[in-house]
């Protein structure tokens, strides 16, 4: 009996009763059913948009609840094209080497929001390839240009009338999403960036405006080599993401023509009737439409429906505001040439009391930002519609220290002929005029105009010494050239303008790009009229556009149509400045800091004047034309001008320039390094002359031009000039010794340059080395000065090693 009882107890322990089991099962099922019911509950709008939620009305409603951000996207916006612009809002010191600043644009891309099942997809759309959507080939273009998805969002809920969806964008904007990063791969590599530290990164703010949404991200990265505060191993950036709704009705684009300078956008059009895809380019410009089209058509000046307005940064110093405003307003007269009055203007930003909703981040407002930076520069970036080239907004940037550059250049380049420049305390009116013209230059960029370096070649050199001419035409035909100062004017010239200004090309280019052409319904309808406007001015150098490359008539910082003559005037003035530099600097300040700074920049000015002449040798003029115009597109500089330029270089560069090497300055600013510094400048021009591309252009000239300067003759002339001491008993000074060795080293590199292989270059170099060997051998025997003798023998060894390498 006891055994039976014990057995029953054991069975009961291991196998619960059916009743208990059913009870537990029932409870488990109840729990499961409760959980299932909870899972199946559909979240409602009020679960995300609560009483404590802050809502910002605008393009999309933006809801914030305890640092969680939601976008309420109207379904009507699905598929609509928007521009996503990534900028740096605030920046650590030194990032990008000083030329990246608060406001710098990192990336621009067209995006669309699309629904796919229960997801909202953010896609990047490309306009590199296009086709009319009514044509069969449109399907192929779409199939071969699949749009990347940069993020997929879960749909959290809909609004009450189901016209909009809610998505959570918190993770998207607080993560290191490469497609919208403010720290591109180049910077990550340079600064050895490891990762984004989520604990020190967050969304600063999201604000919605009628046409855009602005997101500010505070991101902190771990980095082994940050640009500043290196011991922190940290880079912190404030990044701004602008999402801008593109115009519903795109502006009719204007076809780009390289004979007139405009920034442009391009695509490949598969709708073309040509036997290939047609590459098209459109100029970048603002949309200006007349308020009164009938009056505009009659040739009357008419205000635009929407003028171009720039707001001044409240951080701008009060004393400078009027000059910045003038720099913008100066373009009003230019736009009148295109038929518009009051087309562009600058305004002071409203106060909070005047307009509490005003923000410099709002895409409806373009701005001129004043940046606290030691960088000496200014920029004129803009954001444009990639479909048409329409400029949507622009933020011109002025760096605080930029005026220092202008003061120094003003003193160095005009001080000989301009008494008001002979001081470190430049008159306020002069500083203001300089700033005004810099702003005008940057506004020109923001209007779509690139640099036009050929404009300074339009004026005869001696006209730049005329007060009447320069007061009317300035010192270059456009503000878009880098012709900052009149360094040609000589002491005694009367009423000469020294600072640049807007010129005739600016009126011409704005008219060409902005004047409306009647009865033109598509871009192709405008071509005939646009061509005529160009051809009417084609023979006048004031209206020529040229880009800087191999063309000596399109160089930065040059003025006048004769580089040799202009640089001769410039150096004549510079000698006067060099002689007086201590009187205008250290003698006034009782320290040598400004003297040291200005002497270094004086060498830079001399170097630029020299560079303008160097460009003539192997230079090719470029005259952009269409076949119906007469004349060649490419014309080599004639032999006489090239030989004249080389003689000038021998006298003003390769000969020792004692006026530049004044011991009364050198022994006040540095303990050593004078010879090395001067050689660096000489080498720049030596390298240009003995550059493979320069020599190849000279060799090619033999094929297309009768009056050419042979490369062999140029190198021979260069060698004879640089080693002229070998023809006499004259001792070689230290500067010339350095230069002569440098010449040998440079021509040695031509023998091993792969681009020079199988060309005449190696033949010419070997021939010149043999001639030099004979010169050095003879000279070393005649030399009486010990260091000169040693130098010749050293050069002889160098030449022999090149001609007869041991390996």
* pLDDT digit string, tens, across residues 656-678: 999 999 888 999 998 888 899 99
Q: Please tell me whether residues 23 and 131 are part of one structural domain.
A: no
Please check whether residue 97 lies inside any domain of the structure: yes
In this prediction, residue 511 has a pLDDT band, given cuts at 50, 70 and 90, of: very high
Does the pTM of the predicted model rise above 0.75?
yes
Please check whether residue 78 lies inside any domain of the structure: yes
Which pLDDT belongs to residue 738? Answer: 96
415, 469, 488, 540 from 477: Cα distances, Å: 23, 12, 16, 11
Q: Please tell me whether residues 657 and 806 are part of one structural domain.
A: yes
Which pLDDT belongs to residue 97? Answer: 72
Helix (H) / strand (E) containing 84: strand 82-90
With pLDDT > 70 as the criterion, what percentage of the chain qualifies?
A: 89
Is 24 a residue whose pLDDT tops 70?
Answer: no
DSSP 8-state symbol, 724:
G
Q: Please tell me whether residues 32 and 93 are part of one structural domain.
A: no
Average pLDDT for 494-501: 96
Q: Which of 349, 362, 373 is nearest to 90 (CA)?
A: 373
Q: Please tell me whether residues 802 and 711 are part of one structural domain.
A: yes
Average pLDDT for 794-802: 95
Helix (H) / strand (E) containing 165: strand 164-168
Is 1 a residue whose pLDDT tops 60?
Answer: no
Please check whether residue 626 lies inside any domain of the structure: no
Measured CA to CA, the distance from residue 170 to residue 154 in angstroms comes to 12
Measured CA to CA, the distance from residue 720 to residue 705 in angstroms comes to 26
Tell me the pLDDT tens digit for each residue of 219-255: 999 999 888 898 899 999 999 999 999 999 999 999 9
Please check whether residue 653 lies inside any domain of the structure: yes
Q: Please tell me whether residues 35 and 77 are part of one structural domain.
A: no
Q: Please tell me whether residues 24 and 119 are part of one structural domain.
A: no
Which pLDDT belongs to residue 30? Answer: 53
Structure-model confidence comparison of residues 81 and 18, the more confident one: 81
Which pLDDT belongs to residue 8? Answer: 46
CATH number at 765 reads: 1.25.40
Counting the structural domains of the chain, the total is 3
Q: Please tell me whether residues 6 and 151 are part of one structural domain.
A: no
Q: Exposed, middle or buried by CB within 10 Å (0-12, 13-18, 19+), for 103?
A: buried
Which pLDDT belongs to residue 697? Answer: 95
Q: Please tell me whether residues 19 and 80 are part of one structural domain.
A: no
Cβ contacts of residue 10 below 8 Å, gap of 6+?
none
Q: Please tell me whether residues 644 and 777 are part of one structural domain.
A: yes
Question: 3-class SS at 671?
Answer: coil
Tell me the pLDDT tens digit for each residue of 546-590: 977 899 999 999 999 999 999 999 999 999 999 999 999 999 999
Is 130 a residue whose pLDDT tops 70?
Answer: no
In this prediction, residue 274 has a pLDDT band, given cuts at 50, 70 and 90, of: low
In this prediction, residue 269 has a pLDDT band, given cuts at 50, 70 and 90, of: low
**Domain membership of residue 709 as a residue range:** 638-807
Average pLDDT for 152-181: 95
Please check whether residue 255 lies inside any domain of the structure: no
**Token code pair at residue 241:** 């993401």
Please check whether residue 484 lies inside any domain of the structure: no
Please check whether residue 573 lies inside any domain of the structure: no
Please check whether residue 523 lies inside any domain of the structure: no
Q: Please tell me whether residues 156 and 238 are part of one structural domain.
A: yes
Q: Please tell me whether residues 57 and 33 are part of one structural domain.
A: no
Which pLDDT belongs to residue 9? Answer: 39
For the chain, state the CA radius of gyration: 35
Tell me the pLDDT tens digit for each residue of 616-645: 999 999 999 999 999 999 999 999 999 999
In this prediction, residue 412 has a pLDDT band, given cuts at 50, 70 and 90, of: very high
Q: Please tell me whether residues 151 and 12 are part of one structural domain.
A: no
Among 221, 245, 269, identify where a domain stops.
Answer: 245
């Amino acid at each position: 009996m006891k055994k039976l009882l014990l057995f029953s107890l054991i069975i009961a322990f291991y196998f619960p009763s059916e009743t208990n089991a059913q009870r537990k099962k029932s409870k488990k099922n109840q729990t499961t059913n409760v959980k299932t019911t909870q899972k199946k509950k559909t979240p409602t709008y009020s679960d995300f948009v609560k009483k404590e939620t802050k809502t910002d009305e605008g393009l999309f409603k933006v809801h914030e609840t305890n640092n969680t951000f939601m976008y309420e996207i109207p379904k009507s916006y699905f598929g609509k094209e928007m521009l996503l612009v990534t900028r740096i809002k605030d920046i650590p010191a030194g990032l990008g080497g000083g030329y990246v600043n608060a406001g710098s644009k990192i990336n621009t891309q067209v995006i669309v929001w699309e629904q796919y099942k229960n997801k909202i997809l953010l896609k990047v759309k490309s306009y590199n390839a296009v086709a009319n959507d009514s044509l069969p080939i449109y399907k192929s273009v779409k199939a071969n240009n699949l749009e990347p998805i940069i993020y997929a969002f879960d749909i959290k809920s809909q609004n009450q009338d189901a016209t909009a969806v809610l998505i959570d964008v918190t993770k998207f904007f607080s993560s290191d999403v490469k497609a919208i990063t403010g720290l591109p791969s180049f910077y990550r590599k340079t600064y050895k960036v490891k990762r984004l530290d989520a604990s020190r990164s967050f969304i600063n703010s999201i604000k919605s405006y009628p046409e855009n949404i602005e997101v500010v991200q505070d991101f902190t990265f771990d980095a082994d080599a940050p640009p500043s505060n290196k011991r922190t191993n940290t880079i912190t950036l404030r990044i701004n993401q602008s999402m801008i709704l593109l115009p519903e009705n795109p502006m009719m684009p204007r076809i780009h023509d390289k004979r007139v300078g405009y920034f442009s956008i391009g695509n490949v059009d598969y709708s073309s009737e040509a036997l290939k895809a047609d590459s098209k380019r459109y100029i970048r410009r603002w949309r200006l439409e007349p308020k009164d089209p009938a009056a505009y058509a009659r040739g009357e000046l008419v205000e635009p429906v929407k003028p171009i307005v720039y707001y001044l940064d409240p951080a701008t110093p009060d004393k400078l505001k009027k000059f910045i405003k003038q720099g913008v307003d100066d373009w009003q007269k230019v736009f009148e040439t295109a038929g518009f009055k009051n087309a562009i203007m600058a305004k002071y930003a409203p106060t909070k009391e005047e307009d509490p909703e005003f923000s410099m981040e709002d895409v409806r407002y373009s701005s001129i930002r004043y940046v606290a930076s030691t960088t000496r520069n200014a920029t004129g970036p803009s954001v444009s519609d990639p479909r048409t080239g329409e400029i949507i907004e622009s933020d011109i940037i002025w760096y605080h220290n930029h005026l220092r550059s202008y003061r120094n250049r003003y003193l160095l380049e005009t001080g000989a002929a301009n008494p008001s420049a002979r001081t470190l305390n430049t008159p306020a009116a002069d500083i203001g005029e300089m700033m005004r013209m810099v702003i005008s230059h940057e506004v020109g960029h923001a209007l779509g105009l690139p640099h036009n370096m050929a404009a300074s070649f339009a004026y005869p050199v001696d006209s730049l010494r005329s007060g009447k001419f320069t007061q009317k035409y300035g010192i270059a035909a456009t503000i878009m050239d880098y012709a900052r100062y009149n360094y040609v004017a000589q002491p005694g010239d009367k009423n000469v303008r020294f600072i640049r200004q807007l010129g005739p090309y600016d009126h011409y280019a704005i008219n060409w790009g902005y004047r409306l052409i009647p009865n033109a319904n598509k871009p192709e309808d405008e071509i005939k009229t646009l061509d005529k406007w160009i051809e009417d001015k084609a023979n006048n150098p004031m209206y020529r556009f040229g880009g800087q490359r191999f063309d000596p008539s399109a160089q930065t910082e040059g003025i006048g149509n004769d580089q040799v003559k202009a640089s001769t005037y410039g150096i004549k003035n510079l000698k006067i400045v060099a002689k007086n530099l201590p009187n205008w600097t250290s003698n006034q300040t009782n320290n040598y800091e400004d003297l040291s700074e200005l002497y270094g920049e004086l060498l830079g000015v001399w170097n630029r004047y020299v560079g303008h002449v160097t460009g003539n040798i192997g230079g090719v003029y470029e005259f952009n034309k269409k076949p119906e115009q007469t004349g060649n597109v490419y014309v080599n500089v004639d032999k006489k001008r090239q030989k004249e330029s080389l003689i000038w270089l021998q006298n003003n560069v390769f000969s020792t320039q004692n006026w530049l090497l004044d011991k009364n300055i050198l022994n006040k600013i540095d303990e050593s390094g004078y010879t090395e510094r001067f050689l660096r400048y000489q080498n720049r021009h030596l390298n240009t002359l003995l550059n493979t591309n320069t020599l190849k252009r000279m060799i090619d000239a033999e094929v297309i031009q009768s009056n050419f300067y042979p490369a062999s003759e140029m190198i021979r002339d260069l060698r004879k000039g640089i080693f002229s001491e070998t023809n006499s008993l004259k001792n070689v000074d230290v500067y010339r010794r350095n230069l002569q060795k440098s010449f040998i080293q440079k021509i040695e590199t031509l023998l091993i340059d792969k681009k020079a292989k199988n060309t005449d270059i190696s033949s010419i170099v070997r021939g010149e080395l043999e001639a030099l060997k004979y010169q050095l051998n003879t000279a070393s025997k005649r030399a009486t000065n010990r260091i000169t003798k040693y130098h010749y023998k050293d050069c002889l060894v160098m030449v022999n090693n090149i001609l007869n390498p041991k390996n």
